[in-house]
A and B are shown apart, each in its own frame.
Chain A
Amino acid sequence: MSAPDLSRSIDAIWRIEFPRLVAGLTRFTGDLSGAEDLAQDALVAALEHWPRTGVPERPGAWLMTTAKRRALDQLRRGKMLDRKHEQLGRELDARPDTRADERDAALDDEYGDDLLRLMFMTCHPVLSSDARVALTLRLLGGLTAEEIARAFLVSVPTVEQRIVRAKRTLAEARVPFEAPRGSERAERLASVLGVLYLVFNEGYAATRGDDWLRPALCEDALRLGRVLAELASEEPEVHGLVALMELTSSRSRARVGPNGEPVLLLDQDRGRWDALLIHRGLAALARAEALGGARGVYALQAAIAACHARARVASETDWARIVALYDALASLAPSPIVELNRAVAVSMAFGPAAGLELVDALANEPALASYHLLPAARGDLLAKLGRTGEARAEFARAASLTRNAREQKVLLDRAAACGPEARP
């Protein structure tokens, strides 16, 4: 292999193995920062050795063994050798004697459990939301600080600082490296799902900047979701979230027009929806429902997305079912945004006047005061009712509230389409 080929190869191996290395080493040493350093040391060792020896047959195992030996060396040098470490050393030395495939299978299960523990750790409620996102993308997504910074439009030092501080917070709070059980588990799992969904949404509906969609971020979230669906396969809401992300992603190609502008759901060319992702999303939703999770927050939203996915043309959408699903969602997780979406569904099922009544009831909702989709929805209903003057004002207001340049243009166009302002 030529030198550039080898270096690309090592880079790819590194990305594949990094999360499992950090997870395994965190369990081994009990220390997240130390684990990441050890993993980096193993990479340096690989960069030194592999050009001479070639890439080993099991590069992941090589990196893990190298990192663990370093960890033991450090411990020995630090004269912290106690019985536990002696035992770990023996285990490490004994491993090569067992059969390779058995060993790999055992290691796989172990790594899987470790990855799940790591996910619970990086999404721990003791961390701020920004810190959870940065740490999860760094350690489990394998993204570099530069990539995270670019995705969230913040500076690299900001991301680096978030990660360092997050690790310190976890150490100070003595957060254990374990998957929570019992009553704590549901709450902690919700936090993990919340982080993945946040990353996904940032990719899907970029809240800042010029792009409407940052597909790489959606893919990262979806990939972590798919990984989690195998690690915690007994949890219905994990499948609910994966279903929601698969189904939502299936529309991303149709969601952007030729000039990069957003295309609304009902105007999308459904022929451009991704059939493979729809299939996967419906399968994940069925999995959530089979586990008794049809009424979960994510599963309900996925079921709504599934109503759209199943309609070959927009006019075939089962709006009455969507209204019923929003009813269930509103009683489970009441929020003004759910109410707004429910109002839009009601307008589709029972006419714009019925929808407008519900939207008007949200007018003084403080949580929606600067939410651009409230005036956007109101403008849409007013336009349908022929009240174009009021509609124009609402679209203009919506345009002034969004921070996304592409979306702003679409809203201003809609305002202009309502005709010129009436002369007094």
Chain B
Amino acid sequence: MRVMVIVKASKDSEAGIMPSAQLLTEMGNYNEQLVKAGIMLAGDGLTPSSKGARIVFSGAKRTVVDGPFAETKELIAGFWIWQVKSMQEAIEWAKRCPNPTGDQSVLELRPVFESEDFGAELTPELRAQEERLAKQILERQKAGKH
């Protein structure tokens, strides 16, 4: 299974204060362990929300809202995607993470949906729709070539 490990933002991460050299070293070592264990598929740190933007949907209306965003504790400062055998394995690996902000920090672990999780939601009709879309794209590309 895949698990997304979300590093919650802190006051420092939102203020754009870079982690200490020591924390960077520890994180580097930790990442190396994850890679060596063959579980890390991807991962990155994010810039503060002041550099981000949101698209807010309200019915058919779309509004762009520029950062920063207020609710620091609910924001995200980074993420990993891990391939593990079980949620428990992901939890054990996450416990070995150095404190990601050095202060009060939270890692949130969320299993990624596997296609079988969709079950009946991904009906033959939906699949047919996907296929039609693929065909349309193909035809458009063909038309573009000639």
Measuring CB to CB, which residues of chain A are less than 8 angstroms from any residue of chain B?
8-9, 11-13, 15-16, 101, 105, 108, 112, 219, 222-227, 230-231, 253, 258, 269-272, 276-277, 280, 313, 315-316
Q: B134, A224: Cβ atoms under 8 Å?
A: no
- Of all chain B residues, the one with the shortest Cβ separation from A13 is B92
* Known pairs A253-B115, A269-B131, A313-B137; A8 contacts B36 (CB<8 A): no
Is the C-beta of B88 less than 8 angstroms from some C-beta in chain A?
A: yes
- Min C-beta distance of A21 to chain B, whole Å: 14
Q: A227, B83: Cβ atoms under 8 Å?
A: no
Neighbouring A residues of B93 by C-beta, 8 Å: 16
Most chain A CB atoms below 10 A, which of B26, B88, B127: B88
Q: A9, B141: Cβ atoms under 8 Å?
A: no
Neighbouring A residues of B133 by C-beta, 8 Å: 271
- Looking at the complex, which one of B29, B33, B81, B88 makes contact with A9 (CB distance below 8 Å)? B88
- Looking at the complex, which one of A8, A280, A315 makes contact with B88 (CB distance below 8 Å)? A8
- Min C-beta distance of A57 to chain B, whole Å: 9
Neighbouring A residues of B142 by C-beta, 8 Å: 315
- Min C-beta distance of B69 to chain A, whole Å: 27
Q: How far is the CA of A277 from the CA of B42 in the complex (A)?
A: 10
Known interface pairs A253-B115, A271-B130, A280-B41; 19 further A-B residue pairs with C-beta atoms within 8 A, sorted by A's residue number = A9-B88, A12-B89, A12-B91, A15-B85, A15-B89, A16-B93, A105-B29, A108-B33, A108-B36, A222-B83, A227-B37, A230-B35, A230-B38, A269-B134, A271-B134, A276-B41, A276-B42, A277-B41, A313-B138
- Of all chain B residues, the one with the shortest Cβ separation from A223 is B38
Q: How far is the CA of A12 from the CA of B85 in the complex (A)?
A: 9
* Known pairs A105-B29, A253-B115, A315-B138; A223 contacts B92 (CB<8 A): no
Is the C-beta of B124 less than 8 angstroms from some C-beta in chain A?
A: yes
- Of all chain A residues, the one with the shortest Cβ separation from B92 is A12
Neighbouring B residues of A226 by C-beta, 8 Å: 35, 38
Q: B36, A227: Cβ atoms under 8 Å?
A: yes
A–B pairs, 27, beta carbons within 8 Å: A12-B88, A12-B91, A13-B92, A15-B89, A16-B37, A16-B89, A16-B92, A101-B26, A105-B29, A219-B83, A222-B38, A222-B83, A223-B39, A223-B83, A224-B38, A226-B35, A258-B124, A269-B127, A269-B131, A269-B134, A270-B134, A272-B115, A272-B130, A276-B41, A276-B42, A276-B81, A313-B137
Neighbouring A residues of B92 by C-beta, 8 Å: 9, 12-13, 16
Q: How far is the CA of A125 from the CA of B127 in the complex (A)?
A: 47
- Of all chain B residues, the one with the shortest Cβ separation from A268 is B134
Q: How far is the CA of A231 from the CA of B35 in the complex (A)?
A: 10
Q: How far is the CA of A9 from the CA of B89 in the complex (A)?
A: 8
Neighbouring B residues of A270 by C-beta, 8 Å: 134
- Looking at the complex, which one of A8, A222, A269 makes contact with B130 (CB distance below 8 Å)? A269
- Of all chain B residues, the one with the shortest Cβ separation from A253 is B115
- Of all chain A residues, the one with the shortest Cβ separation from B39 is A223
- Looking at the complex, which one of A12, A15, A225, A230 makes contact with B36 (CB distance below 8 Å)? A230
Tell me which residues from 1 to 47 in chain B have a Cβ below 8 Å from any Cβ of chain A: 26, 29, 33, 35-39, 41-42
- Of all chain A residues, the one with the shortest Cβ separation from B122 is A258
- Min C-beta distance of B63 to chain A, whole Å: 29
Neighbouring A residues of B88 by C-beta, 8 Å: 8-9, 11-12
